[in-house]
Amino acid sequence: MLVEIANLRVRFPTAHGMSDAVRGVSLTLGQEKLGIVGESGSGKSLTARAILRLLPDSAEITADKLAFDGIDILTANEAKLRAIRGRRAGLILQDPKFSLNPVMTAGAQIAEAWRAHRGGTRRLAHQAAIELLAQVQIREPARVADTYPHELSGGMGQRVMIAMMLAPDPELLIADEPTSALDATVQAEILRLIEDLVSRRGMGLILISHDLPLVSHFCDRVVVMYAGRIVEELRAADLARAKHPYTRGLLSCIPALSHKQNRLAVMQRDPAWMDA
């Protein structure tokens, strides 16, 4: 599996003409863990969703190349896309409260995903759902399979979401701010779980977040996006040696427990970053 993106552009019509949300992003991803970091509106989610062509209808996408394992995403028909979406590439979103069906039990939702992609009897799918819940380290998988989303905590909900995404045994997992709605302890648990599953199953991972230090702990490589462009790309281990002032700004404006700052550094945005 290989994701190739070259010169990706995403534009939206507005009252004042076209607005460029992604402006010429190029990256390739193999069986590795890639972090995409940036603030709201930087185009990080749109870039990742473009891989599945999951963009609003009004979006205009162009690219020199946009391919998932050699399949041209821009020209693929719906049937071809369906074979990728969910099956070969899973998507985990921020808040499980909004991504899970509130009137179906956790087990039934996972079983549905299993059957949609793999077929088989209901019984078999239910068994598979319980096994998947065990894989995402839920202690009583059979009991949790019978619960409804409102009975689950945020962390448990996200585990169910991950189990559902794993059902078709995908090659790529796109996690878009998967832990922003969770508190610090659960956040770390979920990210460790994702990292562990991705490594063990030999999947590719795109982890999207606005928290640069956090992402660096769970990825091999990080790209930093600003105003629709990649401003810097570096190995996670080299984050401390980041050169771009925006990347450095992202690192220095976060309060730290280990040392006291009287005032937090505030990002001075340079208009030149738009093109750098």
Partner 1 sequence: MIPLGMIPPGMIPVDMIPRDMINVDALSVRFGATEAVKSVSFRLARGEAFGLVGESGSGKSTVLRALAGLNPHWTGRMMLDGAPLDARRDKQFFRRVQMVFQDPYGSLHPRQTVDRALSEPLLVHGLRDIDVRIARGLAEVALPLSMRYRYPHQLSGGQRQRVAIARALMAEPEVLLLDEPTSALDVSVQAEVLNLLADLRVARGLTYIMVSHNLAVVAHLCERVGVMQGGELVETLSTDDLRAGRIRHPHTAALRELSVELEEPEGVT
Please give the residue ranges that form the binding site for partner 1 (CB under 8 A). 39-40, 153-154, 182-186, 188, 210-214, 216-217, 236-241, 249-251, 253-261, 263-267
Least separation, in Å, of the C-beta of 4 and partner 1? Answer: 26
Report the 10 Å Cβ neighbour count for 27.
17
Going from the C-alpha of 258 to that of each of 79, 96, 234, the distances in angstroms are 52, 32, 25
Helix (H) and strand (E) counts in the chain? 10, 11
| Comparison of 178 and 249: residue with beta carbon closer to partner 1 | 249
Among 185, 179, 183, 142, residue whose Cα is nearest residue 159? 179
Q: In this complex, which beta carbon is closest to partner 1, that of residue 131 or of residue 211?
A: 211
Looking at beta carbons only, is 18 or 240 nearer to partner 1? 240
Least separation in angstroms between CB 261 and partner 1: 7
Least separation, in Å, of the C-beta of 37 and partner 1? Answer: 10
Instruction: Single out the residue of 71, 61, 46, 22 nearest to residue 208, CA to CA.
Output: 46
Nearest distance from C-beta of residue 16 to partner 1, angstroms? 14
Q: Which two tokens stand for residue 210?
A: 């606005």
Give dist(CA 103, CA 98) in Å, integer: 12
42/135 with CB nearer partner 1 = 42
